[in-house]
Amino acid sequence: MIKKYSLRINKKVHQVEADEKMPLLWVLRDILGMEGTKYGCGVGSCGACTVHLNGDAVRSCQLPISALAGMEITTIEGLSAKGDHPVQKAWVDVDVAQCGYCQSGQIMSAAALLKNTPNPTEEDIENFMTGNICRCGTYTRIKKAIQQAATKS
């Protein structure tokens, strides 16, 4: 059923009309034109669509719009104003990306990890990041970038 919703995304309020079951992923991409959040699987198995919900990393493909009232949503577009979040800077510095498609999801997961665990062990990183798939195989660089961001933030 189509309903009106008020969503708080990247500290701005957006009024959206959408099917109550429409996942946040498609609200962001198709309605609001915020395409940094990527579609990878639609079943919460790859992490390409990771956003922050009240500061925690969540899969936006699994979040119906009707469940988001009063929540603070942060997408990659809102992580920093100029791409200068410590995790983003580390990603560039470590030259992590190959194709780059999964990386906004990886970065959002990494930023959430560091917020709650500022000095993660290797095991912390591996466990937390396990939900984010990269077919190009940039995992070792992702780990290095997270470690670098941890020491610099």
Q: Which residues bind other proteins (CB under 8 A)?
A: 2, 18-19, 22-23, 26, 29-31, 33, 35-43, 45-46, 48, 75-77, 83, 88-89, 91-93, 95-104, 107, 122, 125-127, 129-143
If the CB atoms of residues 44 and 115 are measured against other proteins, the closer one turns out to be 44
CB of 70 to other proteins, least distance (A): 23
CB of 26 to other proteins, least distance (A): 4
If the CB atoms of residues 107 and 150 are measured against other proteins, the closer one turns out to be 107
Going by DSSP bridges, is the β-strand pair 72-74/2-9 parallel, antiparallel, or unpaired?
A: parallel
CB of 104 to other proteins, least distance (A): 4
Q: How many CB atoms lie within 10 A of CB 76?
A: 25
Pair of tokens at residue 115: 């917020």
CB of 62 to other proteins, least distance (A): 12
Pair of tokens at residue 118: 């500022």
If the CB atoms of residues 56 and 95 are measured against other proteins, the closer one turns out to be 95
CB of 130 to other proteins, least distance (A): 5
Please answer whether residues 124 and 61 qualify as being in contact, where contact means their C-beta atoms are separated by less than 8 angstroms: no
Q: How many CB atoms lie within 10 A of CB 16?
A: 17
Q: Cα(62)–Cα(68) distance, rounded to whole angstroms?
A: 12
Angle at alpha carbon of residue 50, lines to 49 and 53, rounded to 5°: 130
